[in-house]
Structure 1
């Protein structure tokens, strides 16, 4: 009888210990395969993982004289089984993430979603049982099967309704003709351009999504300017496209930020360049663009990130080692996967509603928690600030820092699966995944204390001929002094010095930002207002005559920021914004 009782008391440990040994061997193999641990850590970690499991296995299988020891062995066996199981999951997801990043060199990441209206009670696939789901086979034949398979897996019975175009599909969802729609997020930019669906990304909500890959027509080659990222300084261009969905689509570069890293000194410099910077276009070999013509930087993205890279290198007289390209969907998905980010808004920089997305709540002074769409709107906002584009690039740097802080915080473990799924398809880069692993290994070995510094280029607003448009549009004429200072700051970091060693007198001067043209006293518009047909967000496009100097505020449908009786709106809006000014 006593023997049976003892057997029952040790039964849990006996059941878990074989599983623990299996988990330990699998974990040791995955740690070795992942190849991010330095050798001096790899061997001890693998030995400890396996030996702990074997010791507990032996203790659980043989008699232990004391009851306390037996209880301790059982507790440790259960805990380690859970820990090793979770460890296997995290490492598997991490390895999968690096594989996806490598895939993006020869494949395009596409995001397929099932969307419902924001106020819909539908929140999961199972809620679609008995509902009507719209789709557009003519424009989205590749992605639809992924969603249909997911619905079939959940045994969802639904009515299917096909539409001729994604615009018709969206209209049907808005009008209540269907309960949900299946769509590739790459079409959201097209839908966004239709006035009735300007805020499609926030008027609807995603209840299910999958990322799938298609062959890339032009394979991304590894950078030709590679360095040993653990020993040599390097510069990365982060370029943000103004599109949703697929990363394979070339589009205007809405964000252009240089990140210069010196692994030895621990210095990291973020240099932001206004999207409207008026520069000489430089085309890489084999790219058909307006070589030697003047245009704003954002248009170079239409010919690929390589053109943006070459143009910036020529304008600043620097060398860029690696490029990273993201888009709107990348940021939204990544921030949401992290459970949101926290940003601090300085005094006087509160925004009631975002110009880029009027359906979203703005930000208040102090700490703000932002989900994906609000983080995107915050990073794109400039019309709300007197400091205009300079504040926008500061906001972009704030968002980047907030993402880094969230990734490096312990809370990442709670959302790790979602995070690696999001980051695996969130960006494309010409930095080999082996070098990314080298950086992680360096971080674990040396654990440098990174010091972040920031710098923003400045300029003066003007209206000039843009080669890509074939007409004049708003641009920012570079302030050569700020270009020189930015170049010297980058060189300082590359040489192991602090960027702060290079003084920038204009950085603390609000007037040192991009200056806007004079304002017309009668109309409140800028004297040289020109409608920019390049800009799908140009609010002038809704008027019959975007060039008319007699355009009245009442025609616009927007609140007049100059009206003193307008509930204090002027504190949120830049009195210098122009109707044709791009977002």
Structure 2
């Protein structure tokens, strides 16, 4: 009798909408759990310990939901609460899966880049009616006689296939080419775009870009020779060259001047980083031919030439590089919601209509300043407001970089991570591989995220500040003679980092 009554009561407990809602969400939660765990494994960013902990947490959460949702129960409140929790947890897991995928995609885009581009332009006068290459048939073209000959011949060969024989006139310098174009000796120029900023540095050609227009660009790609590191990136000291381009329209992979030149000497075992800023106008011998030139001009011959010039100066062996389009700072800093930077001085700078943002005067006070993207860029670019010009600009650039790193590593970055990843993937590249980056991330999970970061800047020495430069033949250009005595001081601190000693930087002289 009792058994029949119990059976009758059991039959009366039927699955309701709450039951089916709970069961559906139980399966949704299970699928989302599998998806986020698979994505986290694919990123390779988490240590085995952290993956095991996450897997255990997911098993517990899903096990509890199965325990609550599968059995028939008279009280539906527990099922309803678990179902709602499953909705919230599933939404969070979907967000996490998408976020992890976005991080992985962005890092894959910027890491392991081993290609550089050279852009050769066909240039005519602004008022010329030609709008594309086909309109220049019958023109006489000015070319450089002894510079960038391989790229020039490649574009000439391509032009002759479609236009027939092309008449050319050779000149020794870009300035002579510009004069020939102005005087109608030639109707067009074939010139590597990297030489245009060098030309506009000269007094008589500052308006060259305003008087001319580019109607065609010929792009060639060159593979960067791989540099084999001396050891594991998580165990052995290494050096990274951080290059910043100040050309607003430049392709991030293009060979162009490097306006920011920072070596990061890293010892992962002692958790120490030494940042060394070298002014762009430092007057140094080029590595490939020994000719004297500005450091910034070394970038015209490829990022490895810039690395070699700095290695010769400091006695380092640089294995990695990171390149940033400095104009991308606007997007990166804005995506972070601005950054806080300490200024050593109060100053103002006017930069005209910067990047189409309109004419503005940018003001900074001594002390802490909260800067948006454009203000951060102007802060990092200004040098004329300071008595030591490029030296202070280098220090300010490192302040901006440090502020960005601090903001990126704070929890607030999660609120706008998609815009940040897009800004970084559009404006940054490195030859550090994806696997090496994830190895560093795993190392920091095990040993902590704190680093001892110190900075030094090369100083101006004595000597003539106007010298002839190999890459810009013609009039002497402003240069900065190196202070080799202080370079030796920097070398000694580099040795401290490489040898695992605590960084001790000599006190800066007071002004």
Partner of 1:88: 97
User: C-alpha distance in 2, partners of 1:399/1:4?
Assistant: 66
Partner of 1:331: 329
Query: Could you say if the C-alpha distance between residues 367 and 71 of structure 1 is closer, same or farther in structure 2, counting changes exceeding 3 Å?
Result: farther
Corresponding residue SS for 1:92: helix
Equivalent of 2:272, from 267, 270, 283? 267
Corresponding residue SS for 2:266: strand
Is the Cα–Cα contact under 8 Å of residues 68 and 78 in structure 2 kept in the other structure?
no
| 2:297 matches 1:296 | no
Is the Cα–Cα contact under 8 Å of residues 241 and 301 in structure 1 kept in the other structure?
no
In the TM superposition, residue 294 of structure 1 has moved relative to its aligned partner by 1.1
In the TM superposition, residue 99 of structure 1 has moved relative to its aligned partner by 2.0
User: C-alpha distance in 2, partners of 1:452/1:32?
Assistant: 31
Partner of 1:343: 341
Is the Cα–Cα contact under 8 Å of residues 274 and 393 in structure 1 kept in the other structure?
yes
Listed one character per residue, the Cα deviations across residues 16-38 of structure 1 (whole Å, up to 9, x for unaligned) are: 33222111111111111111111
Equivalent of 2:62, from 53, 71, 76? 53
Is the Cα–Cα contact under 8 Å of residues 118 and 219 in structure 2 kept in the other structure?
no
- After the TM superposition, list the runs of 4 or more consecutive aligned residues in structure 1 that deviate by more than 6 angstroms: 3-6, 107-110, 193-198
Partner of 2:238: 234
Query: Could you say if the C-alpha distance between residues 40 and 108 of structure 1 is closer, same or farther in structure 2, counting changes exceeding 3 Å?
Result: farther
Q: Which runs of 5+ in 1 are unaligned?
A: 111-135, 140-185, 199-213, 284-290, 511-583
Equivalent of 2:248, from 244, 247, 259? 244
Equivalent of 2:228, from 224, 231, 244? 224
Is the Cα–Cα contact under 8 Å of residues 343 and 369 in structure 1 kept in the other structure?
yes
User: C-alpha distance in 2, partners of 1:472/1:228?
Assistant: 45
Larger radius of gyration: 2
User: C-alpha distance in 1, partners of 2:58/2:131?
Assistant: 51
Listed one character per residue, the Cα deviations across residues 264-312 of structure 1 (whole Å, up to 9, x for unaligned) are: 11111111111111111102xxxxxxx1111111110111111100011
Query: Could you say if the C-alpha distance between residues 215 and 58 of structure 1 is closer, same or farther in structure 2, counting changes exceeding 3 Å?
Result: farther
Listed one character per residue, the Cα deviations across residues 123-169 of structure 1 (whole Å, up to 9, x for unaligned) are: xxxxxxxxxxxxx9959xxxxxxxxxxxxxxxxxxxxxxxxxxxxxx
Equivalent of 1:41, from 38, 46, 50? 50
Corresponding residue SS for 1:298: helix
TM normalised by structure 2 equals 0.72
Alignment of 1:43-192 (within 5 A): 43-64=52-73, 66=75, 69-102=78-111, 104-106=113-115, 138=132
In the TM superposition, residue 330 of structure 1 has moved relative to its aligned partner by 3.0
Corresponding residue SS for 1:343: strand
User: C-alpha distance in 2, partners of 1:250/1:509?
Assistant: 39
| 2:496 matches 1:492 | yes
Partner of 2:471: 468
Partner of 2:261: 256
User: C-alpha distance in 1, partners of 2:349/2:227?
Assistant: 41
Corresponding residue SS for 1:395: helix
Is the Cα–Cα contact under 8 Å of residues 220 and 430 in structure 1 kept in the other structure?
no
Alignment of 1:366-377 (within 5 A): 366-377=367-378
Q: Which runs of 5+ in 2 are unaligned?
A: 1-11, 120-129, 134-192, 201-205, 211-217
Equivalent of 2:283, from 274, 278, 282? 278
In the TM superposition, residue 376 of structure 1 has moved relative to its aligned partner by 1.3
Is the Cα–Cα contact under 8 Å of residues 264 and 273 in structure 2 kept in the other structure?
yes
User: C-alpha distance in 2, partners of 1:268/1:195?
Assistant: 42
Is the Cα–Cα contact under 8 Å of residues 118 and 255 in structure 2 kept in the other structure?
no
Partner of 1:403: 404
Query: Could you say if the C-alpha distance between residues 13 and 308 of structure 1 is closer, same or farther in structure 2, counting changes exceeding 3 Å?
Result: same
| 2:393 matches 1:365 | no
User: C-alpha distance in 2, partners of 1:434/1:386?
Assistant: 44
Is the Cα–Cα contact under 8 Å of residues 241 and 318 in structure 2 kept in the other structure?
yes
Partner of 2:151: none
Is the Cα–Cα contact under 8 Å of residues 13 and 73 in structure 1 kept in the other structure?
yes
Listed one character per residue, the Cα deviations across residues 304-325 of structure 1 (whole Å, up to 9, x for unaligned) are: 1111000111111221121111
In the TM superposition, residue 108 of structure 1 has moved relative to its aligned partner by 7.0
In the TM superposition, residue 419 of structure 1 has moved relative to its aligned partner by 1.5
Moved more, 216-225 or 447-456: 216-225
User: C-alpha distance in 2, partners of 1:243/1:4?
Assistant: 73
User: C-alpha distance in 2, partners of 1:103/1:262?
Assistant: 21
User: C-alpha distance in 1, partners of 2:46/2:19?
Assistant: 36
Partner of 2:190: none
Query: Could you say if the C-alpha distance between residues 137 and 468 of structure 1 is closer, same or farther in structure 2, counting changes exceeding 3 Å?
Result: closer
Greater length-normalized contact order (CA 8 Å, ≥ 6 residues apart): 2
